[in-house]
Chains A and B, each alone.
Chain A
Amino acid sequence: MGEAIVVTSGKGGVGKTTSSANIGTALALLGKKVCMVDTDIGLRNLDVVMGLENRIIFDVIDVASGACRLEQALIKDKRFDQLFLLPAAQTKDKLALSEQSMQTIVAKLKEQFDFVIIDCPAGIEHGFRVAVTGADQAIVVTTPEQAAVRDADRVIGLLEAQKISSPKLIINRIRPQMMKNGDMLDIDDIISILSLDLLGIVPDDEHVIRAANQGEPTVMRPDSPASMGYRNIARRILGDPVPLMNLSVDEGGLFKKMRKWIGLH
């Protein structure tokens, strides 16, 4: 029996889809059987980021409506045999997917996979409720911006109301230099406001944009800072106590010096 994890944020554009793709791929990289589910009906992106857009035949709405079997809609990743994607429908409305059918789909996927990563749409309306409904755990993605933290806070409140126990936090797109100068919200400030366990931090990295455009998740490249962030996150999901990556900007280079290891737990 696998575990369903929803990746959500409230605010759009903070990196839900990028995080879903990279966490899913990183878990597959660590030998787990993973299925990613895109619930952003009408604005599907996860297939593009994964470079699987041209392989879509059936989607999650077809499964929900009984137009095809679940196995028919699952797309196998081109890099890993153990990694699958259940794509969203592009031409339908969000209301086409009900909470009931989502629960059924997620329950079926959990039987076959170690991890079901659910990519949640932005907002807190119907699409959010559907994405969250079958999940056992939640990952809240935020960036070091006031607006993103506010929205994350709202979403955490909604998740708590949905009885999803203690969501975990990812702080995405950190710019160490700005954080050091005090131009960006500090990691400690964000944790103190949201009072959540930090699952990981991901530095802002040009390579993420390049990789997304090429349909290749960042984690495939071992040397990029964001890739290391996501790999650490995947290891922590598996219960590995990986220390937080050092973001110190001094001593010439961002991540060359891993001097100061900060324990997570």
Chain B
Amino acid sequence: MSRSARSAPAKVRDLVTVKGIRNGLLFVLADDVDIADVLEELEHKIEGQIKSDGTLTAYVECGQRKVTDDDERMIRKLFATHGNLIVGGFAGAPTVSSLRHKDPYVFKGTVRSGMLIEHDGDVVIIGDVNPGGQIIAAGDVYIMGHLRGSIHAGASGNHQAVIAANYFEPLQVRIAHVVRRAPDVRTRPAEMEFAYLDGEQMAIEQMAYLAQYRAKMS
């Protein structure tokens, strides 16, 4: 890929956005373009910011980008050599989607009453989840067994999380902040189903629909 092609988005939107915040300046670096372009832009922005006499604290947010040690050193060097900015904080707040990139946690066995499984990503259970057992996951929850317990998927606010089980008979399911308890009377077999959010409503659908739902969401 040529240099000019990579730089093209720069004309459409800023690679570095500077925001004044209560205790200094926040530099938001675009996370979907080459770091070299971002650094170039950052250098311009820093030079443009040198107006005040006193020192300012600069906070750097890198979004979803995985910042290497080299990158961080370069960014810190830019701030150090240009003007009166002191780097106060680095990297952005971890977001739900970044948590979802974590490896899934695979548990083999029965999740029994009183057991709690918490994980910052997807959770896969090879076995049953019994009443009184609980799973809290930032991502999806897949149960290769009989779900009879309580599940909270997308616990840190991910509305696109799903809960799927071979035999779907939970006491209670939560996705993000939406809670739904089991229907008092089941009207159809509970085999191979998953729960997802349709707007603010929880919906249960046959597993075959999961791929379609994913395609619709991405």
Q: How far is the CB of B118 from chain A (nearest CB, A)?
A: 16
Does B112 touch A at the CB level, under 8 Å?
Answer: yes
Does A156 touch B at the CB level, under 8 Å?
Answer: yes
Does B199 touch A at the CB level, under 8 Å?
Answer: no
Does B131 touch A at the CB level, under 8 Å?
Answer: yes
B146 touching A157, Cβ below 8 Å? no
CB within 8 Å of A: which of B17-43? none
CB within 8 Å of B: which of A154-175? 154, 156-158, 160
Interface size on B, residues (CB 8 A): 13
User: What residues of chain B lie closer than 8 Å to A157, measured between beta carbons?
Assistant: 110, 112-115
B131 touching A153, Cβ below 8 Å? yes
Interface residues of A (CB under 8 A from B): 150-151, 153-154, 156-158, 160, 192-195
Cα-based distance from A153 to B114 in the complex (angstroms): 9
Cα-based distance from A193 to B131 in the complex (angstroms): 9
Interface residues of B (CB under 8 A from A): 109-110, 112-115, 127-128, 130-132, 146, 148
Q: How many A-B residue pairs have CB under 8 A?
A: 31
Partner of A154, one of B109, B113, B127: B113
Interface of A is mostly: helix
29 A-B pairs in the complex with CB atoms less than 8 angstroms apart: A150-B113, A150-B131, A150-B132, A151-B113, A153-B112, A153-B113, A153-B130, A153-B131, A153-B132, A154-B112, A154-B113, A154-B132, A156-B112, A157-B110, A157-B112, A157-B113, A157-B114, A157-B115, A158-B114, A160-B109, A160-B112, A192-B146, A193-B128, A193-B131, A193-B148, A194-B130, A195-B110, A195-B127, A195-B128
User: What residues of chain B lie closer than 8 Å to A160, measured between beta carbons?
Assistant: 109, 112
Cα-based distance from A163 to B149 in the complex (angstroms): 24
